[in-house]
Amino acid sequence: MDAQKVDMFIMSNGKFFESHQMNTIRDGLLAADDSKWAVISSTQFTDPTTSLIISILAGSLGIDRFLIGDTGMGIGKLLTCGGFGIWTIIDWFMIQNATRDKNIQKLHKVL
């Protein structure tokens, strides 16, 4: 793929991924076929900040986990009142990384 397109993608979507993954993403995008550009540029990623806000407000209902597509974990949190409140607090710190993980999986699926 065009280096210019790749850089544009990275500039606009950088916040959705871990910084140490950027090089792999860049290499992967450069190696990808040009025909995938339409799909890649239209893929929706979840903002880690949004999931953090949801986690703080509705974490004990597991809504943050549902939001990033972790349905099983979300049900686990919902049924146990957010894991007796402990899991809720752990997720305040884990949810941003979990969101970035989900985003990179989404990108790998498209690539």
Partner 1 sequence: MINRNKLYSIILVACFAGYIWLVFSVTKTISEKESTGVCVIKNLTNIPCPSCGTTRSVVSLTKGEFIGALNANPIGYLVAVIMLIAPVWVASDLIRGTKTLYVFYQKIETYLKRPKVAIPLILLVIINWIWNIIKGL
State the Cα–Cα distance between residues 19 and 96, nearest whole angstrom: 13
Contact footprint for partner 1 (CB under 8 A)? 60-61, 69-73, 75-76, 78-85, 88, 105
Please identify, using beta-carbon distances, which residue of 25 and 73 lies nearer to partner 1.
Answer: 73
Beta carbon nearer to partner 1, 48 or 83? 83
Q: Which of 85, 104, 87, 5 is nearest to 46 (CA)?
A: 104
| Radius of gyration of the chain measured on its C-alpha atoms | 16
CB of 60 to partner 1, least distance (A): 5
Q: What tokens were used for 91? A: 């997720």
User: Cβ of residue 98: shortest distance to partner 1, in angstroms?
Assistant: 9
